[in-house]
Structure formats: structure tokens, C-alpha cells
Structure 1
């Protein structure tokens, strides 16, 4: 089954087309970025930098909590959390609106992990110089046979919990390494005295 039979795609907008204003009375938007997507996927905030902010009176594309967002840069998808509600979406991201036969978290699992979908993306990138995903690749994706909605919900929930656990483990390993380096520095400093 083609992705477009169960999903509607909406592309973010180019920032070059947004008329930025300095007026504090016009709406302010944070720009959705890769760190936001990683947070939405794992539930863990690892970003150390603030989002870019833009003020505009233009009609812009914003994300809503529960939207599935796909990054054309990384090829990863996530479900937008409440934290990123109403963030402005650039042309590097696509919103995938699902119908009732496809659960959002299950769709994220398929886009990020399914071997058949990964192969379709890989084939679509053959011959391209820039490794960037495209709208056309998404439009041409064929999905595997979908399980029942209950099974999709279960798989999607487990997948998101696994993403959170994976990131927490990686952070723990990094902190242990950093602690070890600090301890080695202290031992080294003690030897010099």
C-alpha cells in the first residue's frame, strides 16, 4: 500500500519567503530544528543551544502536538510533543497526517526502523550527490501490511520507550567517561606535585 493512501503530506516553508518583522506586537515563532525532533523522539532534552526565533505576521506552517514530523536532512521521524506546539516548520521537514487506520507512533517506527522502507529510501538516493531525503521519496513509499490498531499502538509505545532508554543509556556512558577523564586528570596532577 502506498503511503499516500493513508497519509497526507504537508511541507514546511522556506524561511526566505517569510517576512521577518522587528515589531514586538506581531507573533513570535520558535523554529523547529533537529534537536527538537530528537527530543520529540526520545523525550530527553540534550540540546545546549536555544532555538532561532522569528517574528512575522505571515501565515506560517506550524506543528501541533501529535503531528508526525519527518526530517528531510536526517531521514528520521518523530511525534511532536506539547513542548514544541506551534513551532514554525521549515522546508527541511514534512508533516505526515495519518488517518484512523495508521497510528502516529507506529508510523514513526516504520519510517525510522522498517528494513523495507530503509531500502526504498536508499534506492531513491542512488546517484544523488547530496544525501538528503525528498518529498518525492516519501510520496513513493510503499508500506508493509499494517497490523491492527491495537498492535500498532503497542509497537509504537514500546518503540518510543526504547528510544528514551537508548538515549538515557548513551548519556550515562558519556557521563561515566567524563568522570573517568576527570579522575585521571586528578591522578596525573597529584603525580606532578
Structure 2
């Protein structure tokens, strides 16, 4: 079964920070944890470097104008073209305008982890994204219209859940294996230095 992403979810652009941050140091503000590109790269398994939590200062009177994440939301980097799922721990984080948020209406129809696999790894999805941006010579940013218009192939929900679990487990497994290789190399170098 194939359907458009916009039929299954609400899709929103992140918050433009300059519109909600305090104009002066004297204004009251709230500090809100903020999703970063480094976090997205780490979660998607593209970068093993740890990331520091980013905190944004938001004008206390403009907090309600901010786009905050909820558990099982999908965050898409508009320039990186990567998607991640928001966990319970990252709910209520600020999402900035270099991201878009996909909030699924019914997770019995579309599993967020399956969508992350589909968006990040599926060749048919990659073809949809690249064909929609042909002719652009500058930094390739995905538009919200392109995301809304994505055609999704939806197997039964139990298969979606299984694919999503396998995908996220493989990201973690690959990260551990890369770290193990690094540690083995460090140990080998230490042995060689001891010989010298």
C-alpha cells in the first residue's frame, strides 16, 4: 500500500531562533534543550563523536511559539537529508528551522522507526528526494513540500516495527564494532611502543 506522508502526519518547519530569543539580557527567558545537527548525525550512525547538549535561551513570552518535540516525532535535517526518531528522553526539545518535524497521526499505520529507515536508507526514497531537487546547484535543502509529497510504501505495521527495530539495533551494533576496532588499534600501538 502506498500513500503520501502528508496523509499520515502533520509536517512543520522548526522554530526561527531569532524570532523567539530575548532581545536583551534584561528580558526573562527560559532555557530549552535544543536538537542539533551533531545529535542527528550521531543518532543516524553517521558520526560517532559524542555531542554536547545545546541549550537555547527563549523569551519567556514566546515559548508557546516554539516547536517542541514529542516522543515518536520524526526530525528531518533539511540539508543533511537524515531522519531520526525522538525518544522519551529528548521530548520537549526545541527544534530549529534547519529541521522539520513529522508528527505521525496514527502509529498503527506508520511506525516512526520504519520511516527513519525508509528515509535514510531506502533506494526508492532516495530517488524521490534526488529527483525532486534536480537542477539545484547550491546546498541541497529539502523543502517541506517535497517531504509532504513523499510516497511511502507501507507494509503491515508488524513488519514496519520489525524493520525499524533491526535498523536502530544495527546502527548501535555498528557503532560498538567501530569503537572496538579503535580500541584494538590503540592496544596494538601500545604494544608496539612497548617493544621500542
TM > 0.5: yes
Alpha-carbon distance between aligned partners in 2 of 1:177 and 1:132, rounded to the nearest angstrom: 38
**Which of 5, 16, 27 is 2:18 aligned to?**
16
**Which of 143, 151, 168 is 1:142 aligned to?**
151
Asked if residue 35 in structure 1 is aligned to residue 38 in structure 2, the reply is yes
- Hey, which of these two has a bigger chunk of strand by percent? 2
What is the CA RMSD across the aligned residues, in angstroms?
Answer: 2.5
Alpha-carbon distance between aligned partners in 2 of 1:97 and 1:48, rounded to the nearest angstrom: 25
Alpha-carbon distance between aligned partners in 2 of 1:140 and 1:36, rounded to the nearest angstrom: 26
SS at match of 1:143: strand
Q: 1:180–1:136: structure 2 CA closer, same or farther, 3 Å change rule?
A: farther
Deviation per residue, 1:115-159 (Å, 9 max, x gap): 111001111222212122221221221112x11111111111111
Asked if residue 78 in structure 1 is aligned to residue 84 in structure 2, the reply is yes
Q: Give ranges in structure 2 of 5+ residues lacking alignment.
A: none
Q: Give ranges in structure 1 of 5+ residues lacking alignment.
A: none
Within a 5 Å distance, the mapping from 1:105-184 to structure 2 comes to 105-128=113-136, 129-144=138-153, 146-184=154-192
Please give the TM-score of this superposition, normalised by the length of structure 1. Answer: 0.83
Alpha-carbon distance between aligned partners in 2 of 1:63 and 1:77, rounded to the nearest angstrom: 14
Q: Displacement of 1:9 after TM fit? A: 0.3
Q: 1:50–1:103: structure 2 CA closer, same or farther, 3 Å change rule?
A: closer
With 114-123 and 48-57 compared, the bigger mean Cα shift is at 48-57
SS at match of 2:67: coil
Alpha-carbon distance between aligned partners in 2 of 1:74 and 1:11, rounded to the nearest angstrom: 15
Contact 2:34/2:95, CA 8 A, preserved across alignment: yes
Alpha-carbon distance between aligned partners in 1 of 2:180 and 2:59, rounded to the nearest angstrom: 41
Please give the TM-score of this superposition, normalised by the length of structure 2. Answer: 0.82
**Which of 47, 50, 53 is 1:47 aligned to?**
50
Alpha-carbon distance between aligned partners in 2 of 1:38 and 1:136, rounded to the nearest angstrom: 23
